[in-house]
Amino acid sequence: MAFPQRRPRRLRTTPAMRRLVSEVRVDPAQLVLPVFVKEGLTESRPIVSLPGVHQHSLAALDDVVEQAVTAGLGGVMLFAIPEVRDADGSGAVDPGGILNLAIARATAAAAGRLVVMADLCLDEFTDHGHCGVLAHDGSVDNDSTLTIYGHMALAQARAGADVLGLSGMMDGQVAAVRDALDAEGFTDTSILAYSAKYASAAYGPFRDAVESELTGDRKTYQMDPANRREGSVEADLDQGEGADFVMVKPALPYLDVLADVAATSAVPVAAYHVSGEYAQIEAAAERGWIDRRSAHLEAVTSIVRAGADIVLTYAALEVAQWLKER
């Protein structure tokens, strides 16, 4: 047989060679660790559907942040579970609410060594589990929710958050939050817009983690999984409203959307390797069906390869260690 002069396998011969010619290099500084803080806890509590992930007490945040710093992570994203919820999610705007207390504690512990991000959404604080307040007919009231988001943004900025993660998928949320922040002098507080957030089946373990009391579904405000172009439309709108980062969520089922957004974005692009994606790897690895370490590294690499500058993953601490070893 006559072979062409070029043999691609020559560049795969050894680990050193493969490392030399690798097209994508993931760095721990690109990783963000989601962190759950539960009001009233005195010690960390494991989340059954998210093996290796815990609900933490407020006091435990110091250690969690220190672990993230030591691992070289780029940041932490804070989520909170309050003891009391109501229809308007009032705990979200309370300066003494669990999320705002967690932001202040994490910011003090980080001391500028990593970026402290906070989830800006009402779903963790409402007794109906939706990301906004409800109208009389039971639908989510977009514009009334924006007013609350503005107040929530100011509470988080005053607590010291570096980045506000707008995950509610309300139309106009970036502009509303940016206006509220700027009016009060918080011009340096950044906005991470969850621009293309899909109504996915992969959020189940997260809802366990935050003890969600969702009634119904979120299909009227989260995106249809069938829609690709709409992801770029949403990202463009958010950039126009002043977003400093945009996000695609989930990650692996939407790598095409992620690539589209990254190809045209003028700001850094994040992707969230969500709870269901993480749990699938953990469950298969527990049964011996796949290699856990290789699967997590492959997942994160593919997300970065598709165009993500930042990856939120529950495996961030371990992935950072594996990257250093490799």
Q: Cβ atoms within 10 A of the Cβ of 245, count?
A: 23
**Beta pairing, strands 163-166 & 190-197:** parallel
- Residue 38 falls in the annotated catalytic set: no
- CA separation, residue 106 to residues 62, 64, 103 (Å): 7, 9, 5
Annotated catalytic residue within 38, 197, 219, 324: 197
Residue closest to 80 by CA, chosen among 103, 48, 110: 103
Query: CB of 143 within 8 A of CB of 87?
Result: no
Q: What are phi and psi of 115, to 5 degrees?
A: -90, 130
Distance of alpha carbon 72 from alpha carbon 233, whole angstroms: 34
Annotated catalytic residue within 38, 219, 249, 324: 249
Distance of alpha carbon 9 from alpha carbon 163, whole angstroms: 44
- Residue 324 falls in the annotated catalytic set: no
Distance of alpha carbon 61 from alpha carbon 176, whole angstroms: 30
Count Cβ atoms within 10 A of the Cβ of residue 214 and give its class: 0-12 exposed, 13-18 middle, 19 or more buried: middle
Q: Which residues are catalytic?
A: 197, 249
